[in-house]
Amino acid sequence: MLEAFSIISLVFIGALIYKQKSKKTFCSICAAIAITWLLMLVLLKAGAYEDKILLGLLIGQSITGLYYFGLRRLPKSLRIFTLPFFLTLTAVFYLLLSGKFAAAAFGLLTLLWAAAWLIFVNRNDPGKKTLAKAVANCCEDA
């Protein structure tokens, strides 16, 4: 864990310096976390790293970061797709880590995307407005 925290810290400092010199806008912590777990994933696949728990935690942080990145930039109407988006990210990274394709989970994801699409296309229907609003605002009180 010390190695990972050290890499994250160094990449974070490097990202801050790069941002200042380049005037680019990005999240330095997100970059540091992502670069670290990408390195850890490569090492894991090469047989030179074993800590799947820490790797999973860092990937989870990136999934959450991507979720909030999208949440801030999406129009409210597209927030209906929040649950399938979040779970799809989780499933993709699970596949990346485990190498196992969970067909049943991807089947459920297909159903969730279809349900979200149905709610989205009918979001202005008076009988479905309440449901669409509840789904789109699922994280408003958080």
Q: Is 62 in the same domain as 99?
A: no
Number of separate domains in the chain: 2
pTM of the entire predicted model: 0.76
Selection from 128, 32, 36, 34 nearest residue 80 by Cα: 128
Sign, CA torsion 107/113/114/116: positive
Q: Is 80 in the same domain as 108?
A: yes
Tell which of 21, 50, 73 closes a domain: 73
Q: Is 20 in the same domain as 49?
A: yes
Residue-number span of the structural domain to which 90 is assigned: 76-142
b/e per residue 53-79 (b: at least 16 CB within 10 A): ebbeebbebbbebebeebeeeeeeeeb
Q: Is 65 in the same domain as 82?
A: no
Mean pLDDT of all residues belonging to the chain:
90
Torsional class of 102: left (φ above 0), alpha (ψ -120 to 50), beta (otherwise): beta
- pLDDT tens figures, 40-97: 999 998 999 999 899 999 999 999 998 888 888 888 888 889 899 989 999 988 888 8
